[in-house]
A and B are shown apart, each in its own frame.
Chain A
Amino acid sequence: MSALSFELNNKPDQRLDLSPLVPARLAGLNRKQVEALPINTTRTKLTVGDAFKVRGKDVESLHFVGTDERCDKIGAGLAGGEIVVEGDAGRLLGAQMKSGKIAVDGSVGVLAGASMGGGEVAVRRDAGDQVGGVAFGETFGMKGGFIFIGRDAGALVGERLRRGLIVVGGKAGDYAGGRMVAGTILLRGGAGRYAGYGNRRGSLIFAEKPRHILPTYADSGVMEFDYLRLLETWLREQGMRIRLGGRARRLMGDQAVLGKGEMLILR
């Protein structure tokens, strides 16, 4: 069965709420019913059929083609299945998703993977602020699963992160790991200022020494971490060859809060 695809016809004059386009909501609907689903975010009504050319059948495998930064909430609340985005995505991509996979060819807006509980989000290019951050109405950010950003990410990567892993291939903005509770953030291209601000028990792994280290992080020096080897092995199994090695310098903080978090600066 071919993937159910949604090709954007023309740029609509409002932001789109694409949260209804997930396997659980589409199961059992025929083409007409799918096309009749409302996706407007203003008082001007807009349906799926107005904005997209719909093809294919398999609701477990969804393709969005030609989407742009105003296509919000793609895969929000996803609970299984696979979504491929051939284009950009707006805010709240995969927010509060529980399982399944989302792969984006382009860039995504703010709050990608916000408060997600599980599953996988992979973005090939850039991401906006608050990757894995706190979705509206939630108290924690990402609570499980895996987010991969191929290039740069905005501010507050992993804000209030509770569990799970975020990998940023490029540079992250200010406050990376801000107020994180636990979980792991791997920053391959460094971060802006105030990384790990308010970190309680989380791990921030830097591939290279960050330019700014908060004074509330206490240096424990260099040692071996078998945990990094486990992480490297797992990443490799996911098809990502990221060398972490076993040695890192450990700074513990944020001492202004619980102080059981860490920055691991790879050697």
Chain B
Amino acid sequence: MPELKLKGVNIVETFAEAFPMVGTRVIITAPTAEWAMISASTMTGFATSVIACGAEAGIERILSKKETPDRRPGVAVLLFTMDVDKLQTQLRNRVGQCVLTSPGSACYAGLDSKKSLKLGSSLRFFGDGWQTSKVIGGRRYWRIPVMGGEFVCEEKTGLTKNAVGGGNLLVVGKSHHAVLAACTRAVKAMADLPDVITPFPGGIVRSGSKVGSKYAGQIASTNHAYAPGLKWHADSELPPSAEAVLEIVIDGLSADAIHEAMHAGIHAIARGGSREGITHITAGNYGGNLGPHHFHLKEIVG
């Protein structure tokens, strides 16, 4: 039985189990904030889960003109995969197909590290020999002539191998409406924090999964223990009052960033208290045997 309560909401004494990932950040700028966002949204589209998207990506935050290298409106994007080679491929493909193609865009490094990922140094070949490079303040930029003018892209960006994927919160409530409202609040609170993204649609997953399935070849299947329609089953983890469960998955450049995000998320969910229909906040794990990062809700709340 849970002991800890936050405004009447039960904080289940469990932990979110997360995995090491590799991650990078790029900065996308454009003539207007709207076009920077279009470019960034396109680049981070279809990137909810590495299960089938190849990468997990999202918008970290909107950057003001003062914060970008070319003093235009910008967006910081985070991209995560399970290894460096995949990260390189995903970065090249996504920037190449979604940022290079976007009107007026430019793409810059968002992370400094000793080892780096190719950015402009592979996309420059699109210039078919007409590309030129410029070194400004020790950083190399490629200028690729395109129909819209010139695509400027920094030669490389940094990466971190200390990234963490799969930090999560499961929100249980008495109505879908209440759970969705609480989760929306939590995603908003996390959106203000640095170094993290919530890669699912609007930051929220409605179909949390477990590993494996009864069907051969199906690597993930519905987390039936948290499906309210299956509460009758002995596997169910839900109280009788539960009508809906939604999950927030968090990827971050560090474990600390995930910790901070989960803290902000839990407090935002519980802000309305149990009166608004949220009964439990819990987290997904695999018994602790798979992922090295364990985020215990009890420690996070405190």
Query: Main secondary structure on chain B at its contact with chain A?
Result: strand
Produce 1/0 per residue, B251-287, CB < 8 A to A: 0000000000000000000000000000000000000
Interface 0/1 of A91-111, CB less than 8 Å to B: 000000000000000000000
Interfacial chain B residues near A260, Cβ < 8 Å? 130, 132
Q: How many chain B residues touch A (Cβ–Cβ < 8 Å)?
A: 18
Whether B216 sits at the interface, judged by CB under 8 Å, is no
Q: Provide the residues of chain A in CB contact with B134, threshold 8 Å.
A: 184, 203, 227, 230-231
A227 touches B135 (CB 8 A): no
The closest CB in chain B to the CB of A237 belongs to B137
Contact A229 B72 (CB under 8 A): yes
B18 located at the interface, meaning its Cβ lies under 8 Å from any Cβ of chain A in the complex: no
A226 at the interface (CB under 8 A from B): yes
B71 contacts A233, C-beta separation under 8 Å: yes
B149, CB-defined interface residue at 8 Å: yes
Cβ proximity bits B144-183 to A, threshold 8 Å, 1 near / 0 not: 0000011010000000000000000000000000000000
Whether a CB of chain A sits under 8 angstroms from the CB of B70 is yes
Contacts between chains A and B (CB distance < 8 A), count: 47
Q: Does B143 contact A (CB under 8 A)?
A: yes
Residues on B with C-beta less than 8 A from A203 are 134
Whether a CB of chain B sits under 8 angstroms from the CB of A208 is no
* Distance in angstroms between the alpha carbons of A234 and B71 in the assembled complex: 10
Q: Which of A230, A231, A233, A237 has the most CB of B within 10 A?
A: A230
Is B106 part of the contact surface with A, judged by Cβ < 8 Å?
yes
**Closest chain A CB from B95 CB (angstroms):** 15
Interface residues of B in 109-139 (CB under 8 A from A): 130, 132, 134-137
Q: Closest Cβ of chain B: how far from A267's Cβ, in Å?
A: 14
Q: Which of B71, B135, B152 contacts A163 (CB 8 A)?
A: B135
Please tell me which one of the listed residues A144, A182, A227, A232 contacts residue B141 in the complex, with CB atoms under 8 A apart.
A227
B69 interfacial by beta-carbon distance below 8 Å: yes
Minimal Cβ-Cβ distance residue in A for B66: A233
**Looking at A144, A231, A237, which has the most chain B CB atoms within 10 Å of its CB?**
A231
- The interface on chain A, measured as residues whose beta carbon lies within 8 A of the other chain's beta carbons, has a size of 21
Interface residues of B in 82-111 (CB under 8 A from A): 104, 106
**C-alpha gap A233/B27 in the complex (Å):** 16
Tell me whether B152 and A230 are in contact (CB under 8 A).
Answer: yes
Within 8 Å CB of A231, what residues of B?
134, 136
Contacts A237-B137, A260-B132 given; does A227 touch B150 at CB 8 Å = yes
Q: How far is the CB of A92 from chain B (nearest CB, A)?
A: 24
Whether B150 pairs with A226 at a CB distance below 8 angstroms is: yes
Give the distance in Å from the alpha carbon of A170 to the alpha carbon of B53 in the complex: 56
Query: Is A194's CB within 8 Å of the partner chain B?
Result: no
Residue numbers in A under 8 Å from B70 (CB-CB): 226, 229-230, 233
Known: A223-B149, A223-B150, A225-B150. A230 touches B135 (CB 8 A): no
- B contact residues around A227 at 8 Å (CB): 134, 141, 143, 150, 152
* Nearest CB in chain B to that of A231: its residue: B136
Does A63 reach chain B (CB closer than 8 Å)?
A: no
Contact of A226 among B72, B135, B137 (CB under 8 A): B72
Q: Are A224 and B152 in contact (CB under 8 A)?
A: no
What sequence of 0s and 1s flags, for each residue 143-164 of chain A, a beta carbon within 8 Å of any chain B beta carbon? 0100000000000000000011
Q: Which residue of B lies closest to A229 (CB)?
A: B70
- Residues of chain A lying within 8 A (CB to CB) of residue B143: 225, 227
Min distance, Cβ B31 to any Cβ of chain A, angstroms: 8
Q: How far is the CB of A144 from chain B (nearest CB, A)?
A: 7
CB pair A233–B132 under 8 Å, yes or no, is no
CB contacts (< 8 Å) of A234 on chain B: these are 136-137
CA distance A237 to B70 in the complex (A): 12
- In the bound complex, do residue B132 and residue A226 qualify as a contact, i.e. CB atoms below 8 Å apart? no
**Interface residues in A192-225 (C-beta closer than 8 Å to B):** 201, 203, 223-225
List 27 contacting pairs A-B, 8 Å CB cutoff, sorted by A.
A164-B135, A184-B134, A201-B132, A203-B134, A223-B149, A224-B149, A225-B143, A226-B70, A226-B72, A226-B106, A226-B150, A227-B141, A227-B143, A229-B70, A229-B71, A230-B69, A230-B70, A230-B136, A230-B141, A230-B152, A231-B134, A233-B69, A233-B71, A234-B136, A234-B137, A260-B130, A260-B132
The 9 closest A-B pairs by CB, nearest first: A229-B70, A226-B152, A234-B137, A226-B106, A234-B136, A224-B149, A223-B149, A230-B70, A226-B70
Given contacts A163-B135, A226-B152, A230-B134, 10 further A-B contacts (CB under 8 A): A165-B136, A224-B149, A224-B150, A225-B149, A226-B70, A226-B72, A229-B72, A230-B70, A233-B71, A234-B137
